[in-house]
Chain A
Amino acid sequence: MTETVKIKVDGRELEAPKGKLLIEVCLENGIDIPNFCYYPDLTPQAACRMCLVRIERMPKLATSCTVQVQDGMVVTTQSEEVLEARKGMLDLILGNHPLDCPICDKGGQCELQDQVFAHGTVYGRYEVKKNDTREWRLSPFIAYDPQRCVRCYRCIRVCDEVMDVHALGRIFRGAKEVIGPYGIDKGYSLDCEQCGYCVEVCPVGALLSVDSRFRSRPWDMRETITTCQHCADGCQMRLGTRGSQYVRVASKDLKGINGEFLCIKGRYGSSYISSEERLDNPYLRKDGKLVEVGWEEAIKYVAARLKAISAEDRDAVAVLGSPRLTNEAAFALASFARKGLKTSNYGQIADVDLTRFFANLTAPLATHAEVKKAETIFMLGGDPTENNPLSAMVIRYAVRKNGARLLMVNSRRTKIARRQAEMFLHIRRGAEPAVLAALIDSDENAARYAELAKVKPEQLRRLGKAISDSKRLLVVIGPEVNGATLEVAARFAALLKSDSREVKYLILPPYNNSVGTLDMGLRPNGHELKSLFGTKIKALYLAGSNPVEQYGNSWKEALSKLDLLVVADLFMTETAQLADVVFPVNSFAELDGTYTNAVGQVQRVNRALEGTGRTRPDWMIINMLAKEMGLEFGARGSAASIFRDIASEIPAYSGISYDRLRKEWAIQTERKISTTAEQPDALLSALKGEIAKIDLSLDLDREPVRQGSGLFRLGTLTSRVAVMREAFKAKEQVEEATGVR
């Protein structure tokens, strides 16, 4: 336990842990101290001088953002002297500020406005001409107006410390200083992950998001807190909308699992919801062509065809969902297939069979907050920097703030391997089972596993020792761990956990609701069912998936063998173009529902837009179909009532309700943890087949993972985000032309 000290602020006795920053103690106790450069968890800067307070027995006013509380400290925050100092500081900051609030995107949500209003003076004392500088376009996503900048350096520190990208610096000096990337004056642009965290932490309108520039005043838009639909981390975000249109995504003052963190996809990857390409009416194939029809005609057609096919053989109708659907949609889809159509062929298209992980789990899943506190982190595969950015952020946090030991095994030189890992075993592609076996097996076989993985036996021994030395271990499993290896990885913790060692897991699934859709009963059997298309399976209802874009020709050919293909999606995707009927669905912004993230936390998706009224949520389309077909599967009329069914039918979700979610934001589902003792031999024999599959002809992949290789990849959704499509196409063209990546 940290020592507690007593301090006195403005006559109030306060208790606080010794060494805590004075500003944090004051803010937590409701004592307002104005500040710009203070930001939680960043190194103190003392650049803006707004947080000056009088501390007894100190020779002059002190910056409360750098002072640690000591026992007996007596502080004054409200004296005339302090108020005068604040006025003076604001006058200095406004010395070069253009006061162009009427056209500033930040106007109304600006910390400088608020502080001048609360602490400033009416008359400025500086009469010299203001610096006249133009705005810089730092990247297709981020703009910078140096005149508005207060030089608090939150942006630089958040980029250096939290993101570990180091893209921004203080360029030039004194009054000419600007924030920018290398060579800002030579026309170079910001070469970074484009997460926009710098924009979010900017207290003023200096750093701005290009995509929402001049689109709306903050008070003119409605902000809805919802869950990001891009990856399995499930960040919370504020979706800003105006009328029926998307405006922006922000994360200011959020209290969810991610705080104010978002990645490029979270922050800039949602404008597709207002894309002109969105489907607005059902399509029906007539004379070989897809033509727009009304809902009634489309539903009647599909119902009749499904009924006829199902009457001959129930299993001839297949239903496939997507790991992007909400829990409510996935639950409705699974119930419709199981209880309504009574087909055994339903599930989802997925590359990693997570059922093998969850069915064999021997330790609980760590939340992101718990990852931050990890002591030793063992990563088997995975590149969260590119694919699960919040997970990467909390792993970096554990290393940076708590000195966590990071032990990494990966076939690629990822950014975390290069920068945070204490130990990095660079292994042959596909050799994860050999490393896992080495950790389970006795030392005499180390040489064999080392050869399989193309590492030195000594490295495997050091890894084993570091794991056995750990007190609190986090095992992170990447998406390249699959099949039997994934199952053994889930059972592996049983060998490690003891009274003196706590073990937890973090898994990195590819999609936002990979875990939830699995819980709802959509098994990852899409690729197996595909082989039955045209033979056993005649009709397919496909919701939210675009396998033709993802997997190419093999799916295209398989789908063409079907008698009936029904696709429910947002866009006329490559897959939808092959369909007999296409249903237009609501985007996540037009829906109520829930997602379950990688760590099993259920979070709300909140309806931000009304939609056109001609699109429908997936579950509603299912209801319409079932009604037309005369099938009963327990249809419900709202997302909330579907969720009540989920909570009562699926044990992990019992006790969770929309009401609780509104108050608690994220609720972790309870997973069944196997408590049976595991025998090393059983695990080793389970790995045998996977080890045999290791391709010994493969050399090490020495190419380091390029920044943005996962973040900047366009998919079905992001290719409909104008700013991303243009930025990445341009980048690709430059790379192709110059050969420089």
Chain B
Amino acid sequence: MFSPQTEAKIDALIAKYPYKRSAILPIIHLAQLEQGKVTEEAIHYIADRLDLEPVEVYEVVTFYSMYFMEEIGKYHLQVCRTLSCMLCGAEEITAHLEKKLGIKPGQVTPDGRFRLSEVECLGSCATAPVMQVNFDYYENLTPEKVDEILKNLP
């Protein structure tokens, strides 16, 4: 189903827990990372590997906001909107991104390059406002800085 590297990681995760099903969260992450979203095939495959029913994997996928069953997009812009960031201008950053990309939070640009999300605390209050792009943090943001960041993304 997945690349040999991902399969090896899945094997290791399953071996790590006394109950197979405990490995469900990291395995869904691996599947999403490799395929850009959580596919139905992946759900069935994971259910099979963990001796679960597909609906039991589906419950988990639909529960957590960090799993996506539709294309995430190449760059997932996650703007923190919790207290410190909000006080330091997160709303302005989101508004700027909405205007620049022409999408609302929860949407993807038509070219599939950007997904915009508002997320809860990223744990970096000292450097608010903060945005996470895929797995990288960008701190002390201003609208100008955001423009610069987007321009430099490959």
Contact = CB atoms under 8 A, between A and B. Distances in A.
Nearest to A180: B55
B52 to A, nearest CB: 8
A283 B54 CA distance: 54
Nearest to B69: A186
A170 B63 CA distance: 8
A173 B55 contact: no
A183 B59 contact: no
Interface in B57-94: 58-59, 62-65
A172 B40 contact: no
A166 B56 contact: yes
B62 A182 contact: no
Contacts of A168: 55
Contacts of A167: 53, 55
Contacts of B65: 173
Query: Chain B interface mostly helix, strand, loop or mixed?
Result: helix
A181 interface: yes
A171 interface: yes
Interface in A161-180: 166-173
B63 A182 contact: no
A171 B53 contact: no
Nearest to B64: A173
A181 B55 CA distance: 6
A166 B62 contact: no
B65 to A, nearest CB: 8
Contacts of A182: 43, 53-55, 58
Nearest to B54: A182
B55 A166 contact: yes
Query: Chain A interface mostly helix, strand, loop or mixed?
Result: loop
Interface string A62-88: 000000000000000000000000000
B62 A172 contact: yes
Interface string B19-59: 00000000000000000000010010000000001111011
B55 A172 contact: no
A167 B62 CA distance: 16
B53 A166 contact: yes
A182 B43 CA distance: 10
B59 A170 contact: yes
A168 B40 CA distance: 17
B117 to A, nearest CB: 15
B68 to A, nearest CB: 14
Contact of A171 (B40, B43, B62, B64): B62
A171 B55 CA distance: 9
B54 A173 contact: no
Nearest to B60: A169
Contacts of B53: 166-167, 182
Contacts of B40: 183
Interface string A169-210: 111110000000111000000000000000000000000000
Contacts of B55: 166-169, 181-182
Nearest to A190: B55
Question: Which of A168, A171, A172, A182 has the most CB atoms of chain B within a 10 A radius of its CB?
Answer: A182
Nearest to A183: B58
Nearest to A167: B55
A170 B57 CA distance: 10
A168 B43 CA distance: 15
Nearest to B57: A182
Interface in A131-175: 166-173
Given A166-B53, A183-B40, A173 B58 contact: no
A173 B40 CA distance: 19
Contacts of B62: 171-173
A162 B55 CA distance: 17
Nearest to B56: A169
Nearest to A177: B63
A19 B54 CA distance: 35
Interface of A: 166-173, 181-183
Interface of B: 40, 43, 53-56, 58-59, 62-65
12 contacts: A166-B55, A167-B53, A168-B55, A169-B58, A169-B59, A170-B59, A170-B63, A172-B63, A173-B65, A182-B54, A182-B55, A183-B40
Given A173-B65, A182-B58, 16 more contacts: A166-B55, A167-B53, A168-B55, A169-B56, A169-B58, A169-B59, A170-B59, A170-B63, A171-B62, A172-B63, A173-B64, A181-B55, A182-B53, A182-B54, A183-B40, A183-B58
6 A-B pairs with least C-beta separation: A166-B53, A169-B55, A169-B59, A182-B55, A182-B54, A173-B63
